[in-house]
Structure 1
Amino acid sequence: MKKVKVGIVGLGRLGCQHAENIAFRIPNCELTAVCSVVEDEVKEVQEKWGIPYSYTNYDEMLKNKELDAIFIASPSGFHCEQITKALQAGFHVFSEKPLGLYLEEALEVQKVVDAHLDKVFMLGFMRRYDKSYAAAKQKIDNGDIGDPILIRCYGLDPASQMDNFLKFAKANYSGGLFLDMSIHDLDLARWYMATEAQEVWAIGGGYARPEFEEIQDAETGVAMVRFENNAIGIFVAGRNCAHGYHIETEIIGTKGSIRIGTLPERNQIVLLQENGAVKECYDGFLERFEQAYLSEVEEFINCILEKRKPAVTVQDGVESTKLGYACKKSFETRQLVNLQDEQLVTN
């Protein structure tokens, strides 16, 4: 079977994990090119893994006619431009979340995707490919909890990474707490509840690190969402979790409820000593969602080879960006935001 030749842009923590998966763990594909504006990153990966091509200029990589697909793992603010260029250059495209930092640019990318329907486009909402989250979706669709009426999501990053979060936020790469961190939860909510958001109220602040408030961002924040079918969403996001990386989701229905990740257990060990009963927790997203990151890229490659479209669409990216941006706007203005407001389309 023909191998899909992939070029990746972005070699940060997540980019390197994706690059390693493509190079060594996913059948029927080949990591053919790597690209980063950081020359040392490119040189290290190319030499360590024997990658044929390396670039510090994204436009130059797009001239490589040996490539079949482009994988975008660069900072969020570059996604829309890089997706557009890759599709227009004739490549299949996988992009990490979010689709864009502003609704206006996300809508423009949607037009480009729709104009290139012969190409596979996929967005990195990897939690849909996590075994536990996928099983919960099946149970909801089976009617096991009746009609879902409330979803509660916690997305808490480890306090040990606070300085890195601040550097990332100050560089204006993230789009803020809700677009950077809550976007996965917002996508899950749309997926599980099978409805779109109608209005949102978001609050938050810089409690342990006031520097976040200086850049109009939040260290910890909460958004409450009313969906079009009157269902409720409660989204908690934070960058100061003392015990590690904590992702938790609960879906309450008319006949029952489902909880995923109530305890962020790294393993089944319980240590009993002077501190009581202690369980180790995940220390980051790469560890918690290792299988999901692999599975989503396997799906992307299979879609290319089998000439079919993935379940995650550009519309999912647009709607999640719309909701994430509404949360950001509500937080910044301290006002209730209606998602039908045309002024959301602004940058």
Structure 2
Amino acid sequence: MKKVKVGIVGLGRLGRKHAGNLAFRIPHCELTAVCSVVEEEVQEVMDAWNIPYGYTKYEDMLANPELDAIFIASPSNFHCEQIKQALSLGFHVFSEKPLGLYVEEALDVETAVKAHPDQVFMLGFMRRYDRSYMAAKEKIEAGIIGKPFLIRCYGLDPASKMDSFLTFARANYSGGLFLDMSIHDFDLARWYLGEEAKEVWAIGGSYARPEFDEIEDAETGAAMVRFENNAIGIFVAGRNCAHGYHIETEIIGTKGTLRIGTVPERNQVVIMKDEGVIQECVDGFLERFEQAYLSETEEFINCILDKRKPAITVKDGVQSTILGYSCKKSFETGRLIQVKTEKIIQG
């Protein structure tokens, strides 16, 4: 079977994980080119993994005629333009979340994707490929908890990562707490409830690190969302989780409740000693969702080979961006935001 030749842009923490999966863990796939503005990163990966092509300019990589697909793991503010460039040149495209930092640019990407129906486009909402989240979806569809009417999501990053995030945020790469972190939870809510958001109210602040106030972002924030069918969403996101990386989701239905990740355990080992009973926690998203990142990348390659489209569509990216941007506006203004209005009015 023909191998899909892929070029990846972005070699940060997540980009390096994706690159490794593409190079060594995905059947019928060949990581042919790597690109980063940091020349040392490019050279290191090329030398260590025997990658034939390396670039510091994205446009130079797109000119490589050997490539079939582009994998985008660059900072969030580059996604939209890089997606459109790659699609216009005939490539299949995978992009990390979010689709865009602003509603208008997300809608531009949706138009571009629709203009290239023969190319595969996939967005990196990897939790849909996590075994636990997939099992929850199957149980909801089977009616195990009745009709779901409330979803509660916690997305808490380790406190130890705050310094590195502040560097990232000051460079205007993140889009703010809700677009950067809660975007996965917004996608899950739409997926589980089968509804779009109607209105949101978001609050937040800086509690351990006042630097977040200086960049007009929240260290920790919360949003309450009303969906079209009157279902409720409660979303908490934070950068200051003392015990590690904590992702927890609860779906309450008319006949029962599902919970995923209540204890963010690293493994099944329990340590018992004079300090008490200890379960070690995962310390980051790469560890918690290792299987999901691999599975979503494998799905992207298989979609190209099988000439089919992934279940995650560009619309999922657009609608999650609309909701994330609405939460950002509510946080910044203190107002209740009508989500449908945010599709048109961003100011």
TM-score by length of 2: 0.99
The C-alpha deviation readout for 1:10-45, integer Å capped at 9, x for no partner, is: 000000000000000000000000000000000000
Corresponding residue of 1:124 = 124
Separation in 1, partners of 2:143, 2:74: 39
Q: Output the CA distance in 2 between the equivalents of 1:89 and 1:184.
A: 29
Distance 1:311 1:49 in 2: 31
What's the CA shift string for 1:74-109, capped at 9, x where partnerless? 000000000000000110000000000000000000
The answer for the alignment partner of 1:109 in structure 2 is 109
Cα RMSD between the aligned structures? 0.8
Equivalent in the alignment of 1:150? 150
Give the corresponding residue for 1:21: 21
Q: Which residue of 1 aligns with 2:199?
A: 199
The aligned length equals 347
Letter in 2 for 1:171: A
Is residue 5 of structure 2 the alignment partner of residue 5 of structure 1?
A: yes
SS at match of 2:123: strand
Deviation at 1:346, TM superposition (A): 3.2
Which consecutive unaligned segments of at least 5 residues does structure 2 have? none
Q: State whether residues 322 and 342 of structure 2, in contact with CA within 8 Å, keep that contact through their aligned partners in structure 1.
A: no
Deviation at 1:342, TM superposition (A): 4.8
Structure 1 gaps, min length 5: none
Q: What letter corresponds to residue 153 of structure 2 in structure 1?
A: C
Any conservation in 1 of the 2:322–2:343 contact (CA below 8 Å)?
Answer: no
Percent pairwise identity: 76
Is the contact between residue 87 and residue 112 of structure 2 (CA under 8 Å) also seen in structure 1? yes
CA contact (8 A) 2:326 2:342 kept: no
Corresponding residue SS for 1:188: helix
**Structure 2 residue matching 1:259: 3-state secondary structure:** strand
User: Secondary structure at the residue paired with 1:297?
Assistant: helix
Asked whether the equivalents of residues 87 and 116 of structure 1 are also in contact (C-alpha less than 8 Å), the reply is yes
1:245–1:264 Cα contact (<8 Å) kept: yes
Q: How far 1:274 sits from its partner (Å)?
A: 1.7
Give the aligned residue type for 1:109. Answer: V
Aligned counterpart, 1:280: 280
**Is contact 1:207-1:219 (8 Å) kept?**
yes
Structure 1 residue 177 and structure 2 residue 185: aligned?
no
After superposition, the Cα gap between the structure-2 partners of 1:259 and 1:343, relative to the gap in structure 1 and judged at 3 Å, is closer
**Secondary structure, in 3 states, of the residue corresponding to 1:119?**
coil
After TM superposition, give the deviation of residue 345 of structure 1 in Å: 4.2
Pairing of 1:302-317 with structure 2 (within 5 A): 302-317=302-317
Moved over 6 A (4+): none
Q: Classify the secondary structure of the residue corresponding to 2:207.
A: coil
CA distance in 2, matches of 1:344, 1:98: 19
- 1:343 is displaced (CA, Å) by 6.8
CA contact (8 A) 1:326 1:344 kept: no
Alignment of 1:326 onto 2:323: no
SS of residue paired to 1:34: strand
Q: Distance in 2 between matches of 1:274 and 1:168?
A: 40
User: Within 2, Cα distance between the matches of 1:100 and 1:322?
Assistant: 9
Letter matched to residue 165 of structure 1: F
Q: Do the aligned partners of residues 345 and 82 (structure 1) sit closer, same or farther apart at CA in structure 2, a change above 3 Å counting?
A: farther
Distance 1:290-1:342 versus aligned 2 partners, 3 A rule: closer
Aligned to 2:165: 165
Matched, 1:251 2:248: no
